[in-house]
Structure 1
Amino acid sequence: MTTNDVARYERSNEDEQIHTLENSFPDDFADVLDEGTTHRSTIGCVIPAYNEEESIADVIASLLRQTRVPDVIHVVVNNTTDATVKIASQYAGPHELSTVLGDQFTEVFVHDIGKNPDKKVGALNYGYTLVEGYDYLLGVDGDTVADDRAVEYLEAEAVADTRIGGISAIYSIDEKPITGFLAKFLITGQRSQFAAFNLHNLLRGRNMAVLGGQFSIFSTQALRDVMRENRQMTPWVKDSEVEDSLLSLQIKSAGYLTKISPFARADVGGMTTLRALDAQQVKWTYGAIELMWPGQRGDTKGQPFHPNLRVRWLEHFDMLMNMFVRIAFVTLLAASLSIGAFVFSFWWLIPPVVAIALNTRMAMTMNNRSTRDVLFGLTLAPAEIYMWIRCSHFLRSWTRFLSRKKVDNWAMQAKAERGGGFGHWTPLIFAVAIVAAMVAIWMMLPIMVQSTILWIGWPIVGVITVIQTLSMFFKLVRRQHGYKV
């Protein structure tokens, strides 16, 4: 059976409506799914895979378990050096499946495109050429396992509103297979980070600034419009570190909506080592900066004031304030103690108390929260340590960007995931050197100058801390409309 034959295949129960969702969800979103549709759209799934031998079987199996199975699944293996092709090929061929929505058919194709200089972008564009005749392209990362109804939910909402150019699932990380103290800590931090990101997007009208490539569905008509308006030959371009962010921005600029589903869920692959997490976060942040910075790209209309980019600027400003307050507070505290000038005030307990309440509430919004997630928020220390780690990623990203040094962040991430590289220790080494220099300078200053620095520094930190605390409080008391992330 050819790919076009698969695209035209009709399920025998195509008139059956999608099940009504649980009453706990917001009614307006449930109504979208209740309406269903009499037109059966076609969905072509593309899985770009690079050295995914540990996860590719689970990814394909999760797609074959879907209540709404994609009409065709293309696994596009590129630059791989492991058994990804061999394992994926075990699923190749036609599949007749019995689901709650009736009997369905799909076919799995495995393409080994060998050396691919464009890496994931090249694999995605190769996959696009295979499914461009379908109504929707479902992009799935080679380490992402979706809940059984994820495709059903994404398709239902995309079909119900033709303004939607792309819609993303809610992402988290499955912590059950994770072993080791450090790995569990890092995964818990990433789960909290994903939860905050998802909730932020859900509460801003479900408008998604970044349609993550982990598990998102795209209207192929929107992709064609993006290519035409930007004079591109392919939907994804190779000259961006964050191909999903750029495509999301272009879809928005083409007049479409970019949304996050309140129902579809998927577990992505997490980073279990400091070096791997550092490489991933630096690549993401560096790519975002490249999009945001004026003059870096000629195709980001309205840059840097595009709606998607304004959100990113606010995120970076928030991280800058987080880093400044922490460094300034520790510095001033040490300086005050060194000359016996520190006076404790109970007012300083308010920010950490509000932070604990906010972190705990965030943990309680997780759909599959664990005891570790709740303790991560309640005890404050783990969340604070993870924030310091995020600050180091933020600093490394901006330093790398401002240095104008050209690096292959994709290659660096791949190397880090294999256990190579020591760049993640750079912030700590510089921090130790800077602290040593500051201590030496501080000890040489006369007491009058030291007192003046403290007299000016503490009020500045205090004012910024009050503003941040108010911001956390407003996030704490705002309505969450029953969302679970």
Structure 2
Amino acid sequence: MKPRIVAFIPAHNEEKSIRDCLAGLGDQTLPRDVELDVIVIADNCSDRTEEVALAAGEEFNLKLKVLTTENNKQRKVGALNSAWKSIYGDPLDLYDKRLTVFQEYYKTSVKAVLGMDADSRLAPDALTQLWEGLMSSRNIGGVMAKYTMRMPKKRSLLSKDDVHYEEMLASGQYGGPITRWWTHQQKQDMASWLLNLQYSGGSTYVLGGQATLFRPEALQDIIEENKLDGPWQDESDVEDMLLTWQIQKKWKTLISPTARCFVDAMRSYHTFRQQRNKWQSGTVELLTNSNIGVKSKHRGKIWRSQFKSLVDLAIRFLLISLIAISVATDQFHWSWIWLTPVVLASILNTILALKTPMHRTIDVILAVLLISPEIYLWVNLITFTNVWLGKLSANKKDGWAIQYSAERGTTRSKLTEGVIAVILFIALVTYFCIDQHAFLTSAPVQTVMYPYLKTGWTILTYLTVFTSVAMLYQIWTLRGRHSA
């Protein structure tokens, strides 16, 4: 039996995207003498996912079968583990079923397992590039593709007279200016992360579930060491990061410098927030929960990222507060040196925008002006604050359920209410400062406020210097020829 790659594709109501995912696998040029089998796991589906997958398998000449889950309450984790058990057997089987001779040969022939999301698509030759990376050394447990968010087509290309207008708009393949802009911000954020990993040697602390090629022995080690019935666990909202940390105990986890996978972005503020809430809360849980019992050699890098978010939040809070109080008490003094971090941020974000695959001119311009990066950063800082405040809560939220609800449209964003609240607050503060101008600018008030302002500006100066040095270092790292 020839060596083979087996693709696991969990699919929950993915009839609209599964064909494109399988088309990408049909495009692949396989390594010499290596075969590809595809297992689509129709997980608690209420649509035509299974039917569409089988038809696409025939259309693209794939060796494909569909598994249908029963009573799966572990969502993606349970779906992936069911595919694993279909090849390697179920340790929890009460009857201790033995694999047939054919099944034993088949299991031995599996040299790599490809984990993919149903809404992802591999670029041509990506699978061969992932295979070459995995087989380049015996101690590599997993290799992840480089992810690039797919840009929706312009909504203006659709004719409103088209009978399929609403259907095509709802498919997510088309979007307006805001949706396309928001997609690019996520794409640039991903590009920045990928460039940072490659500069650090290509080792990654998360093998993303969108497209990663695993060595079966590495996954089997996790099962044996932790007495599991499958490699994937639902103890964390970031099951792919937990899996990666467990693999790293004995194996290397790398990112491919060439293999690319196209993935869907979150096309609205609400769905993006819920996704990032899940990612961030899962990451914080892995960092702080000792009961999970797994650590990563990248913990220092992840903690530094959390600290950077805290510093970014502190700088903006201090800057807004100090300027407001200084102006209100007539003690504000402008200094041209303040432009230094602004110029550095502009240079950094411009380089990132230019290194982002398939960037647009408007995106580069907005990066130069710091409009897009600042808005995107504020959204992430809100998520950062929300997650860490949530750590103090006794009630643990189901990140997967919340994200699914947001994507289905059964929950709504509170962005409008939040914006209105901020505008009202600014208006009230402005009115108060104008009404009490004489009192606020009086000598006694200025004398009382001066020491606090001086201390605040000193702290802000140190934080800004720290951030500026960090930006200089990042600009220096981007001089390399790494591509995102």
TM range (shorter): 0.7 to 0.9
The one-letter code of the counterpart of 1:454 is: L
Verify the 8 A CA contact 2:331 2:446 in the aligned structure 1: no
1:317 corresponds in structure 2 to 307
Aligned-pair distance for 1:89?
2.4
2:248 corresponds in structure 1 to 252
Partner of 2:209, secondary structure, is coil
Aligned-pair distance for 1:150?
0.7
1:456 corresponds in structure 2 to 455
Verify the 8 A CA contact 2:67 2:83 in the aligned structure 1: no
1:22 corresponds in structure 2 to none
Equivalent-residue separation in structure 2 for 1:402 and 1:429 (angstroms): 27
Pairing 1:123–2:79 present:
yes
Verify the 8 A CA contact 2:195 2:478 in the aligned structure 1: no
Verify the 8 A CA contact 1:74 1:109 in the aligned structure 2: yes
**Compared CA separation, residues 296 and 193, structure 1 to 2 (3 A):** farther
Q: TM-score, with normalisation over the residues of structure 2?
A: 0.83
Deviations 1:312-357 (Å, cap 9, x if unpaired)? 1111111111111112111211121112221111111111111111
Equivalent-residue separation in structure 2 for 1:239 and 1:441 (angstroms): 50
1:167 corresponds in structure 2 to 143
2:326 corresponds in structure 1 to 336
Aligned-pair distance for 1:116?
2.0
**Compared CA separation, residues 423 and 449, structure 1 to 2 (3 A):** farther
1:361 corresponds in structure 2 to 351
Verify the 8 A CA contact 1:138 1:216 in the aligned structure 2: yes
Pairing 1:83–2:24 present:
no
Partner of 2:378, secondary structure, is helix
1:58-457 pair list within 5 angstroms = 58-68=20-30, 71-92=36-57, 96=61, 106-132=62-88, 133=107, 134-177=110-153, 178-253=174-249, 255-297=250-292, 299-301=293-295, 306-422=296-412, 425=415, 446-457=445-456
Equivalent-residue separation in structure 1 for 2:180 and 2:59 (angstroms): 39
**Compared CA separation, residues 85 and 438, structure 1 to 2 (3 A):** farther
1:466 corresponds in structure 2 to 465
Aligned-pair distance for 1:156?
0.8
The one-letter code of the counterpart of 1:402 is: L
The one-letter code of the counterpart of 1:478 is: T
Structure 1 unaligned blocks of 5 or more: 1-7, 11-40, 97-105
Aligned-pair distance for 1:484?
1.0
322-331 or 400-409, which moves further after superposition? 400-409
The one-letter code of the counterpart of 1:171 is: Y
Verify the 8 A CA contact 2:145 2:260 in the aligned structure 1: yes
Verify the 8 A CA contact 1:77 1:110 in the aligned structure 2: yes
Equivalent-residue separation in structure 2 for 1:359 and 1:451 (angstroms): 35
Verify the 8 A CA contact 1:91 1:108 in the aligned structure 2: no
226-235 or 257-266, which moves further after superposition? 226-235
Aligned-pair distance for 1:131?
4.3
1:13 corresponds in structure 2 to none
The one-letter code of the counterpart of 2:224 is: R
Cα RMSD (Å): 2.5
Equivalent-residue separation in structure 2 for 1:248 and 1:429 (angstroms): 42
Deviations 1:5-59 (Å, cap 9, x if unpaired)? xxx3x4xxxxxxxxxxxxxxxxxxxxxxxxxxxxxx4210000112222211100
Equivalent-residue separation in structure 2 for 1:393 and 1:387 (angstroms): 10
The one-letter code of the counterpart of 1:71 is: L
Equivalent-residue separation in structure 2 for 1:245 and 1:45 (angstroms): 19
- Which structure has the larger Rg over C-alpha atoms? 2
Deviations 1:383-424 (Å, cap 9, x if unpaired)? 111110111111112222221312211111011112232465
Equivalent-residue separation in structure 2 for 1:236 and 1:340 (angstroms): 60
Deviations 1:69-119 (Å, cap 9, x if unpaired)? 8611111121333332232221245965xxxxxxxxx41112232542100
Partner of 1:43, secondary structure, is strand
**Compared CA separation, residues 320 and 428, structure 1 to 2 (3 A):** farther
Partner of 2:197, secondary structure, is helix
Q: TM-score, with normalisation over the residues of structure 1?
A: 0.83
Pairing 1:43–2:39 present:
no
Verify the 8 A CA contact 1:128 1:137 in the aligned structure 2: no
The one-letter code of the counterpart of 2:9 is: I
